[in-house]
């Protein structure tokens, strides 16, 4: 059995939530609305909305105004390099 390293004493909640959103979007396969993301990840809808807006601003997510849905953005490819 592999031992996992001890986590740092203080993890940044907002960053963990943002990463959880990115992982969620990567599994969704298609655009998802903010209410669904917030519900599934048990996040406050307002917090989830603000995190998604920030991810869009940074190019890590995209927003489709017609369907009011979010999906992964191409900015993740830049990070992966």
Residue 46 burial class via C-beta count within 10 angstroms: exposed 0-12, middle 13-18, buried 19 and up: exposed
Indicate the length of the chain as a whole number: 81
The pLDDT value given to residue 6: 76
Does residue 25 or residue 9 have the better pLDDT? 25
Say yes or no to pLDDT of 28 above 80: yes
| Residue with the two structure tokens 């609305």 | 33
What mean pLDDT do residues 10-17 have?
A: 93
The pLDDT value given to residue 20: 98
The pLDDT value given to residue 5: 74
What tens digit of pLDDT does each residue of 63-75 get? 999 999 999 999 9
Say yes or no to pLDDT of 37 above 90: yes
């Amino acid at each position: 059995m592999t031992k996992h390293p001890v986590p740092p004493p203080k993890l940044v909640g907002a960053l963990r939530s943002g990463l959880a959103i990115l992982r969620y979007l990567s599994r969704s396969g298609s655009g998802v609305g903010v209410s669904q993301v917030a519900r599934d990840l048990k996040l406050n809808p307002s917090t989830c909305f603000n995190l998604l807006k920030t991810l869009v601003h940074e190019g890590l997510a995209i927003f489709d105004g017609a369907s009011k849905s979010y999906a992964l953005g191409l900015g993740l490819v830049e990070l992966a390099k």
